[in-house]
Structure 1
Amino acid sequence: MTSPLPALIVVDVQRAFDEWEAAGKRRNNPDAVARIADLLKAFRASDAPIFHIRHEGTKPNSSFLPSGTGYAVKDEAREAPGEAVIVKRVNSAFIGTDLEKRLRAGSIATLVICGATTNHCVETTTRMAGNLGFDAQLVRDATWTFDRIGPDGDAHSAEDIHAMTLSNLNSEFARIVTTDDVIASLEAARQ
């Protein structure tokens, strides 16, 4: 039997991103972490499963080395006792981890995905969730990314990258939703 409640997958909400911003990198969705905190509160109130994903860097200059200041989770997204924390070393939360096994063991069919960054680990995890047959929902206002320079030297804004990533994932890999959509759905399921 499939679980009637979705699982919240919180991807890489770590302090490294604060350090990137402090160093001058510009991001979109400044309220994304507050929306993630809203999602955590709603999932906890519904007793719905939550999986916290942490990125562990493997290269010497990684901002996500376990011994570095960027590895720690941001306070707003800290796990509560009993909530699963899964450490990954690549972009997808499904590769090299037991995330899929845990989800299948819990008969969880729907995944609500949020975190950072939209076009890297969030996108890769969302694509794989869709490919593995999960009903993936990507929360557009609870994820963010940074400005980037493309291979031809063109500057791309975080807003454009975020929007294009959502467009690429929409329908084929995931449903694109808002925090309010998710919370309303959880509240309806509780009644």
Structure 2
Amino acid sequence: MTHKERTALVVVDMQQGFFDNSWGATTNHPQCEDNVALLIHAWTEANQPVVIVRHDSLDSTSPLNTDHPGNSLMPETAGVDPALMVTKTVNSAFLGTPDLEAWLRAGQITTIVLCGIQTNMCVETTARMGGNLGFDVVVAIDATRTFDLAGPDGTTVDAATLMRTTATNLHGGGFARVASTSVVVAELRKNVRDTRASQ
């Protein structure tokens, strides 16, 4: 992260429905939840904006459907008073309501840090779109998680490989910078100190 006045933390789809067994095997749990909590704490402490994103699935059988208890937020995000709450029905948080891009631009926020679920789905899609829109995007990769996924030939790719592939796609494709939670928090705190020292 470069020295900027405000950096938004965008917390993607931290919802109870992702504990449902229908998703299959997962990786780095509960590290993801713990790291999301660390990021939220750091952003709140630094008085920086936190955006909470919730997926409202249109599929009536999905654990993330609004009629399902799994649509509710996990404890790490349920108690947060966000600067913005975005609901969406597709992968990208930039295609939700209210308009995330418009809100960021109105607040002159050019850098976003992403975390949440799933790494290779909504987090990656939001990161790609954010990069395409010209935002500086950082993904706290160890504050995300995903699930094993079957490909078109029936071969299952494990969650850890999918996470590495997402990190490679985002980094190698120039969509985002991929970093650890500890690095992101350290950079945030340094930026806050530098901003205060310059005032």
TM-score by length of 1: 0.94
In 1, the alpha carbon distance for the partners of 2:11 and 2:36 equals 8
Indicate conservation of the 8 Å contact 2:127/2:175, yes or no. Answer: yes
Indicate conservation of the 8 Å contact 2:138/2:177, yes or no. Answer: yes
Matched, 1:18 2:19: yes
Cα offset, 1:46, TM superposition? 0.3
State how 1:1-191 maps to structure 2 within 5 Å: 4-20=5-21, 23=22, 25-30=24-29, 31-97=31-97, 98-171=99-172, 172-191=174-193
Indicate conservation of the 8 Å contact 1:130/1:174, yes or no. Answer: yes
Q: SS at 1:125's partner residue?
A: helix
Using the TM superposition, name which of 23-32 and 65-74 deviates more. Answer: 23-32
Cα offset, 1:4, TM superposition? 1.9
Cα offset, 1:80, TM superposition? 2.3
In 1, the alpha carbon distance for the partners of 2:94 and 2:157 equals 28
In 1, the alpha carbon distance for the partners of 2:23 and 2:105 equals 41
Query: Which residue type is aligned with residue 89 of structure 2?
Result: R
Q: SS at 1:170's partner residue?
A: helix
Query: Which residue type is aligned with residue 181 of structure 1?
Result: V
Q: SS at 1:167's partner residue?
A: helix
Cα offset, 1:3, TM superposition? 5.1
Query: Which residue type is aligned with residue 54 of structure 1?
Result: R
Aligned residues: 188
TM-score by length of 2: 0.90
Higher helix content, 1 or 2: 2
Indicate conservation of the 8 Å contact 2:23/2:147, yes or no. Answer: no
Using the TM superposition, name which of 38-47 and 167-176 deviates more. Answer: 167-176
Query: Which residue type is aligned with residue 184 of structure 1?
Result: A
Query: Which residue type is aligned with residue 175 of structure 1?
Result: R
Q: Percent of aligned pairs with the same residue?
A: 39
Indicate conservation of the 8 Å contact 1:52/1:85, yes or no. Answer: yes
Unaligned runs of 5+ in 2: 194-199
Query: Which residue type is aligned with residue 174 of structure 1?
Result: A
Q: 1:151 to 1:39 in 2, by over 3 A?
A: same
Unaligned runs of 5+ in 1: none
